[in-house]
Homo-oligomer: A and B are copies of this chain.
Amino acid sequence: MKIIEDANREALKRMLSGDPVLVDVIPASAAIPELKQRMILHAGPPIGWDRLCGPMRGAVTGIAVFEGWAPDLEAAENLAADGAFELHPNHHFDAVGPMTGLTTISQPVMVIENRTFGNRAYCAINEGLGKVLRFGGNDEEVLDRLRWLRDVLGPAMGKALRSGDGIPLKSLIARGLTMGDEMHQRNVACSGLTLRALAPALATTTTSDDGLPEILAFVGGNDQFFLNIAMAMGKAIMDPVRDIDGSTLVTAMSRNGTDFGIRVSGTGDTWFTAPVEMPEGLYFPGFTESDANPDMGDSTIVETIGLGGFAMGAAPAVAGFVGAGAASGAAVFTRTMGEITFGENPEWTIPALDYLGVPTGIDIRLVVETGLAPTINTGIAHKEPGVGQVGAGVVRAPMSCFEQALRGFAERIGVS
């Protein structure tokens, strides 16, 4: 139908014309004025405490202690069960978060400005791998790291970014795609490029007494540092694509560890949800699939903009890490995702595929028609609270979300 074609063309145009720039790091309370004490933003579609998965519960109790809402984890859990904390999706407040993805009042958030449309999106700073809050970790080591991010790294990054014009991300991603990143499970190159861009300003605005060597070591030692930037960038790019009448393109995919939810441009802010699936992947030594929590996090926003599983062909080395088969087969994932997307991104290209643009704009019609659900590269959390990351893998978005969305879309435009 022409109305759908036109709407999707407009949606793709807005996606491709976005100009995301990392401009600041500020406390979440300053970024999101609605945030208040005892309010917790989480990954995925809406959910209550009673249905929260293990790592999400672990993170909620951890962040309650971090924010001073509870003296210890046990007290925090009792408070949570009593409904003392207000839970909302990050997506309802211009934010995203990886895995558990909690955003609360005193955490620092990175600010991505989409300079074409003027909107902003936010994401907390990546904590590194292993036992971290986003994978359900919540002990003192985890909370101490969050304090350091809040008191040292966040303010220093903010000062450095404000001293210049920010870091334009469109060209940085283009470069990262020539350096083996897909920006979901592999962010080595983009993390390095960010450090490179940030280091001179950091060295001008922060002294070694204020932690400069530790800051450079932390950012330089965290190969997933860029993930959270890529996610906020995805949110900043996709928010202006919401609410285009007649568009069948997906504007968000997101999981809370229990439900997977998608939003579609032509159906506004409705979440179409289904139970999350279990990733197929590789486990860190000592862990198996029986330890794993199913799929979780807002990080699927990167697949929504053509990266992650959609850009696997740029990152043959990630195929082994996520257990996706032979490295030489990585291109197959990208080509397959080309069958469910409305277009390609001519500025984000993959050298090994002779500069094919990454497949961009997931069309729910094509997903349902082909039976090909979006491929997602993801980290895997332990299913119990307090443990952390146990592996990485590949997972499919549940087909039911797309079927429901297509029915909802049909009703909305008056087709039965």
Contact = CB atoms under 8 A, between A and B. Distances in A.
Interface in A195-213: 195-197, 199-201, 203-204, 207-208, 212-213
Contacts of A175: 188
A392 interface: no
A355 interface: yes
Interface residues of A, number: 38
A196 B192 contact: yes
Contact of A180 (B179, B201, B221, B355): B179
A220 B197 contact: yes
A399 interface: no
A193 interface: yes
A213 B189 contact: no
A216 interface: yes
Most interface-central of A175, A192, A201 (chain B CB within 10 A):
A192
Contact of A189 (B179, B199, B208, B355): B179
Contact of A199 (B178, B220, B317, B328): B220
Contacts of A319: 351
Contacts of A327: 351-352, 354-355
Contacts of A354: 326-328
B220 A213 contact: no
A266 B402 CA distance: 67
Query: Chain A interface mostly helix, strand, loop or mixed?
Result: helix
A216 B203 contact: yes
Given A213-B201, A216-B203, A351 B180 contact: yes
Contacts of A75: none
A54 B143 CA distance: 63
B179 A316 contact: no
A208 B199 contact: no
A217 interface: yes
Contacts of A81: none
B217 A213 contact: no
Contact of A352 (B189, B220, B221, B328): B328
A30 interface: no
Interface string A293-328: 000000000000000000000001101100000111
A213 B166 CA distance: 16
A247 B48 CA distance: 72
B180 A178 contact: yes
17 contacts: A175-B188, A178-B188, A179-B188, A179-B189, A180-B189, A180-B351, A192-B196, A196-B221, A197-B220, A200-B220, A207-B207, A207-B208, A327-B351, A327-B354, A327-B355, A328-B353, A328-B354
